[in-house]
Structure 1
């Protein structure tokens, strides 16, 4: 089986971006005008979480722009042969070490500004490709119920915060982390030493970390068995995070829901995504087919470049979005205390630049 990592076509990487460059004031004005009528469906990607310290998949420092990087595919992770077991050892060791950085990441100013637009009803539907849960954390500041949050946010590719065994038993990720720690005391000590030294490993949006430069082997890492399966008198240590791996399809429910979110909107906004994965790109295609106005805010090339009907602003959302929210909500009747709190919340702490040694890593 041959499965490739979705990426931006080379023709688009060299696409002339100068026409999309805008000043901050122009971007604020154009985005405000686009959002003002309301009923917008928003699609976000990893670029939205960069200011929370989580690297994007693609772009200058994106791990998937490194031709040597080989992520684990779905068929490899669930393979029940010895080879599959080795893939799971590799995945879960790296994820065990990397997950705390994602778990402890805080929503940034863009997350909170977008949550303010959700709270105000300008963006009733948000589709995210991110698996970090930061949109949920930001929206929770306005105190909606967990059910309301789930209705407002569709996780196109799932979440890193749950684990599912091959028989469908779901475990909260923090509990699974404890299982991994108990089964691997040596690696728990290693993880504790990293935290104590304050020198975290390079973490990617899916919780994966780079450790090959440390000369580490995965051979002794123990992937625990599912306790529920053991209660059902069967052995099973095939687990995966409750997210979509490369080579795996999104569920029919998520696909239909995402299409409905596009159909029920009057316009579509895209922020921080290259649309390299087809599950996201086809939503843009669906919006264009339905003649919905589309605005994209993203730094650098994307799969939408050159697509007729797409306005593109090449600018970081964090540079403009708080001012955009103020503009739009003042026009719609004012800003209440909840929105003020959201607009005064959030960090802006992008990850450090990648060093050349890490860029050269093959895994």
Structure 2
């Protein structure tokens, strides 16, 4: 992106690492765990703010996960009814309803339309689509590969292991991203620098 080769990033990750790494124009397709949304009025607030409010509402609460297997991949923890006894939720500061959740798209939910439209606009404006680190199992990401292929836009896939989009890819690299991406970025930046030098 710093070399001018990448117009935007569409990510299915919800951890915000792309933005933390300095990427701009990131579409977080499935949302961001750092945000909380009210299901009633759609107000979005920082998750850290909610954590402070919950601590203030529950000063003596100290439930802990006793077994590692009780912690789920999405960060949720299985707690007993006894551990949750007396726990108080807090309402949305804007509308007063208590239907707050992490601002992420869970299985069975729909990706917000504006995110999908923004992502399709990126695909439509692209000269090529590079997919990295995704099996493309979920349609919410795979649809962009289908659209690129439908439009005749070249697709390249870099992933450890097979992906659902392999048949649509003109280039397929089965290797760890940590090895491939730095090399690819260096080569493309070098090619771009050579092209710019030739134009001068």
- Please state which band the TM-score falls in when normalised by the shorter chain: 0.7 to 0.9
Aligned residues: 191
Alpha-carbon contact 1:304-1:310 (below 8 Å) kept: no
| Whole-angstrom distance in 2 between the partners of 1:301 and 1:133 | 25
Equivalent positions of 1:249-264 (< 5 A) are: 249-264=110-125
Q: CA offsets, 1:175-223, max 9 Å, x none? A: 0111222223344x346x99xxxx9x8563x4x23446x8975454332
Aligned to 1:242: 103
> Which one of 292, 296, 312 corresponds to residue 172 of structure 2?
312
| Whole-angstrom distance in 2 between the partners of 1:159 and 1:129 | 10
TM-score by length of 1: 0.48
| Whole-angstrom distance in 2 between the partners of 1:228 and 1:256 | 28
- Structure 1 residues 219 and 315, CA, compared in 2 at 3 Å: closer, same or farther? farther
Alpha-carbon contact 1:131-1:155 (below 8 Å) kept: yes
> Which one of 197, 209, 212 corresponds to residue 76 of structure 2?
209
| Whole-angstrom distance in 2 between the partners of 1:228 and 1:241 | 16
Q: CA offsets, 1:308-338, max 9 Å, x none? A: 444322111012222222222123228xxxx
Verify: 1:137 aligned to 2:10, yes or no: no
Structure 1 residue runs of 4 or more that deviate by more than 3 Å after TM superposition: 209-212, 214-221
Aligned to 1:125: 8
> Which one of 287, 291, 305 corresponds to residue 148 of structure 2?
287
Tell me the SS of whatever aligns to 2:22.
helix
| Whole-angstrom distance in 2 between the partners of 1:287 and 1:220 | 52
Alpha-carbon contact 2:63-2:83 (below 8 Å) kept: no
| Whole-angstrom distance in 2 between the partners of 1:259 and 1:310 | 20
Tell me the SS of whatever aligns to 1:159.
strand
Flag structure 2 segments of 5+ consecutive residues without an equivalent: 195-200
Higher relative contact order (CA 8 A, sep 6+): 1
> Which one of 228, 243, 261 corresponds to residue 94 of structure 2?
228
Equivalent positions of 1:116-195 (< 5 A) are: 118-139=1-22, 149=24, 152-165=25-38, 166-187=40-61, 189-190=62-63
| Whole-angstrom distance in 2 between the partners of 1:216 and 1:321 | 48
Q: CA offsets, 1:72-94, max 9 Å, x none? A: xxxxxxxxxxxxxxxxxxxxxxx
TM-score by length of 2: 0.82
Q: Larger % of helix: which? A: 1
Q: Larger % of strand: which? A: 2
Equivalent positions of 1:1-363 (< 5 A) are: 118-139=1-22, 149=24, 152-165=25-38, 166-187=40-61, 189-190=62-63, 202=71, 204=73, 206=74, 208-211=75-78, 217-230=83-96, 236-305=97-166, 307-333=167-193
